[in-house]
Structure 1
């Protein structure tokens, strides 16, 4: 190898050695080549001498036609398709001769090598002659790939905003999520999860698109391929990603209390705040499904409350919106009410759920769980539930109303999370076909795990332990206005009132949104105010808010507002205020401009916060009427849609529907 006659052979050998990454070797008169390398180098020299213009290619070294190119198996092997060979050339720049064979399990459903196998292919850079028909076929398929390259969505070419429109995660979060996509067995074969497969599944969840549409935009061969790929991705995520991010096994009690039980909830619900306990909110949501041909499924999936066919997943959520677990889904007939569902969960997971929830833990539930109270008491779990109306009463007492407000102050997070599941994942908000409904549990748990890991928790602004103590203190204050209304029978004695309009009470104090939020203990009631005021003006066919003032006591008002649920029901609102000549109020002032309020609605007797009717009147008289621009709800549908009942048009609404002002 060291003589001049072998100079060309020596240069070729050194080039091959460097390409293979072998260490350099000192050449002397005793240096030799093995027979195989010597034969291959001689063939290369002969090809170059026969055609000096011959090009060099990275040619696969495992080119035997009798064995598998991957595992050297000799049975059940088949020749690689031109599609597979072209794909390898594009992905890793290795040319595979047309006689190379492989086992079927090394290929995916499209006949391509699994991505994890491509780095293991060995090659050598040498002159290689491709015959005319083979070259023509190879170039034609390269042309087809180039022509079809515009088809399908490539995640690497999407901007961050475009990516978030397709998937419920960011591009960086997608990279991490892809690391959880392990190979899974599907129909007896090991299937690899590609980036395109995961993105397609996330797009289906995010936008609720059909498999036929996904086949087009992601360039799959058929709708059946889309369905099988989605099943593989779902199975893969359920194996490792879901157990890591949702469920009792994903977090310990201690970490749950430390990370997700807020100081506000601990102070508000825990009678011993110095000893934090688990605080969780439980509620069911609805997953609408198509009708089944099975009569039993039809009966058990029909919900008389919603008058639709649906299934019921149940969420257990922390005070900050962290989803501890998603149970079910359950059927929705009378036998599957909320109380029976929670009883079933504690009995079915007796060794898990009962161990995780311990004595004196706290759960917030709605009235539908009343039949499960004995079970919770037996387990030593403290339950908080909104109060029930007493028999023969139409209104909650002040104490019951205040207690209900304390519970709903944090119970709404489970409703918010239910809404997030259906707004972030539109697939869950659609009417689902029965094929998908069979895997509803997996879809919901994947969505919940993504929310837990990649989406922000629910952060209630300006609430802390001190705010909780203020709520508890205010909940003990009686409603003096209610007592006066009942003693003097002011609801019925119209002779003690005189009719006015809003402009006739110029001394009503100016209120800012900060004061209103503090008075109502939240923003929900204020957000409803424009709708209530607009509805009153439309129904009374007036441009000004009508109200009554006590004839013997200026500063004591009565206003009637319509119920938003029933056409014929009116609620009376009584408000006592202190006239204020200042341009605005000082929220820290000792003199409260609103000295009391009372409403005849079901929750209007409470002194902790206000109902939406009281908040609407305060919002209008103290804030909205002094603003140049207030946006009321759009009523254009009333003008473009026929009404066979011949109700009055929305002329008044058109006059008050003006520009926008943000009240959030």
Structure 2
């Protein structure tokens, strides 16, 4: 106990009271104090509380009044016999050495940076807004993963910058970290790593994993979600439901495996998947697929240089620029069925497998105009197209104009005269004449010109099966009832997300070769 911080007489603590030093007292007061605390010696460093100080002074005044009433001789005798007052000098205090405060160790990072660890201003430099809010944990984790920028716990952000989502503008050159900041940053990374696949917050997923599982980027995902607003009213988490359906299209994995990936029961996963499928089919697909999502003039505007030069209107200023489309049927394989009729109509003698046929109508730049079907495996391409164009009041006849161009393969040879009768132009590779073993030069060159334009539909079919593994494996019979819904959804996603096919730099050169000596206008290529 430090006696210098207590009253020498009553030992009361002097932290919150008034006090006086003994060295400030008069000699009579010191004598009074010495009597009170005897045999404890009195030091000039001792302290006295105000109450004891006043009591000692009153005692001195009382003695002075008593001495004034006593005879002078007695007072002198008493004074002569009194020992001189002597206040002992206390020994010197020991030397106390306080430890020097060491500077906090700093860690310099070459990769990560941080903002200033202060709550006095916004983390955006130059911001003078008075309002300062805590930075949400999700934002801190996003900045750490995406921009390698650490936000200390004491940092603050104004409401304007928090709500405007302009985090790419946040810059900082501070690269030194304290040990506690480094520990906090590592703990944050550990938490992020434990929930790498957070489908509730796609922005927090690594870009490669987002593309791998969903087939879209983190920037494209909110755009898709915005086009199916009804999904928010159908499921608890629209982001998770859409992720489930995209992962199903992308990977083709079984529902059991997807349920373990999304950490939910299979029944819940299937319910979310069905809701997402239906909402996408009803709201997003009409915006990106079908004859109603673009006019025939917009189709004509998508003509590329080579198809336009070979089969289109040679006058580019003509108002009747023909629309050029490429048609083909593709395959989606299904399981063998115990239903005899379905098994008979879905079995292909050409592929020796069970399948159905979606029918594709594609623009010259790879944009899918429409996807029809599914059709039976026993129906050929010519029959499919004939059925679609037979009705004069049907959608196809009302949509396409006279003079529009259809680029086809040899499977459509039986429908070519019918299309020409309707006023359309139809081009396909030439076939061998009866008894011939080789195409003539004229036929071969004409076939090459058709092939130079028809490859686009093959590329589009390849994209669908490359990006959506679900379509390149056998569909279960139970899932076959929504096969075409899935396929049209995949076509709409391809139209929305995939870049279009551009003209090659050599397009004009190819046209110049084709029209050399006006050889293509009449398809009269002479044998050499």
What is the TM-score of this pair, normalised by structure 2?
0.59
Counterpart CA distance in 2 for 1:193 and 1:355 is 42
Shift of 1:150: 4.2
Matched with 2:526 is 478
C-alpha distance in 1 between matches for 2:332 and 2:261? 27
Task: State the aligned residue count.
Answer: 330
Are residues 1:467 and 2:514 paired?
no
**Are 1:344 and 2:344 an aligned pair?**
no
> Do the aligned partners of residues 396 and 348 (structure 1) sit closer, same or farther apart at CA in structure 2, a change above 3 Å counting?
same
Which residue of 1 is the match for residue 39 of structure 2?
none
Distance between the aligned counterparts of 1:192 and 1:316, measured in 2?
A: 37
Within 5 Å, give how 1:523-542 maps onto structure 2: none
Contact 2:430 2:443 in 1 (8 A): yes
What's the counterpart of residue 400 of structure 2?
Answer: 357
1:197 matches 2:248: no
Matches within 5 A, 1:40-55: none
Q: Deviations over 1:574-629 (max 9, x none)?
A: xxxxxxxxxxxxxxxxxxxxxxxxxxxxxxxxxxxxxxxxxxxxxxxxxxxxxxxx
Indicate the residue corresponding to 1:292 in structure 2: 337
**Map of 1:353-392 to 2, 5 A cutoff?**
353-392=396-435
Q: Distance in 2 between matches of 1:462 and 1:153?
A: 43
Q: Distance in 1 between matches of 2:305 and 2:195?
A: 53
Q: Using a 3 Å threshold, how does the CA distance of structure 1 residues 228 and 263 change in structure 2: closer, same or farther? A: same
Find the counterpart in structure 2 of residue 156 from structure 1: 203
Specify the SS of the correspondent of 1:229.
Answer: helix
Task: Name 1:454's counterpart in structure 2.
Answer: 497
For 2:437, the equivalent position in structure 1 comes to 394
Contact 1:314-1:329 within 8 A present in 2 as well: yes
Runs of at least 5 residues in structure 1 that lack an aligned partner in the other structure? 1-89, 92-145, 481-664
Per the TM alignment, residue 346 of structure 1 is displaced from its structure 2 partner at its CA by 2.4
Give 1:212's match in structure 2, choosing from 256, 260, 270: 256
1:167 deviates by 1.5
Please give the alpha-carbon distance, in whole angstroms, between the structure 2 residues aligned to 1:232 and 1:163.
Answer: 21
Match of 2:367 in 1: 322
SS of 1:427's partner is helix
Change (3 A) 1:201 1:455: same
1:178 to 221, 225, 232: 225
Alignment partners' CA distance in 2, 1:416 and 1:151: 34
TM-score, normalised by the number of residues in structure 1: 0.47
1:427 alignment partner, one of 451, 470, 477: 470
Cα distance in 2 between the residues matched to 1:342 and 1:251: 21
**Deviations 1:497-526, CA, capped at 9 Å, x for gaps:** xxxxxxxxxxxxxxxxxxxxxxxxxxxxxx
Distance apart, 1:205 and its partner CA:
0.7
Kindly indicate whether the alpha-carbon contact (under 8 Å) linking 1:184 and 1:192 is maintained by their aligned counterparts in 2: no
How many Å apart are 1:320 and its aligned residue?
A: 1.1
**1:183–1:192 contact (8 Å) kept in structure 2:** no
| Aligned 8 A contact 1:152 1:216 in 2 | no
What is the CA–CA distance in structure 1 between the aligned matches of 2:208 and 2:496, rounded to whole Å?
20
The 2-side partners of 1:169 and 1:300 are apart by 36
1:305 matches 2:350: yes
SS at match of 1:216: helix
Comparing 471-480 and 418-427, the one that deviates more: 471-480
Alignment partner of 1:442 is 2:485 = yes
**Closer, same or farther: CA 266–370 of 1 in aligned 2, 3 Å:** same
User: Structure 2 vs 1, CA of residues 273 and 367 (structure 1 numbering), >3 Å: closer, same or farther?
Assistant: farther
CA contact (8 A) 2:343 2:354 kept: yes
Change (3 A) 1:279 1:390: same
- Deviation of the 1:287 alpha carbon: 0.2
Who wins on radius of gyration, i.e. which is larger? Answer: 2
Per-residue Cα deviation, 1:100-123 (whole angstroms, up to 9, x for no partner): xxxxxxxxxxxxxxxxxxxxxxxx
Q: CA deviation at 1:151?
A: 8.9
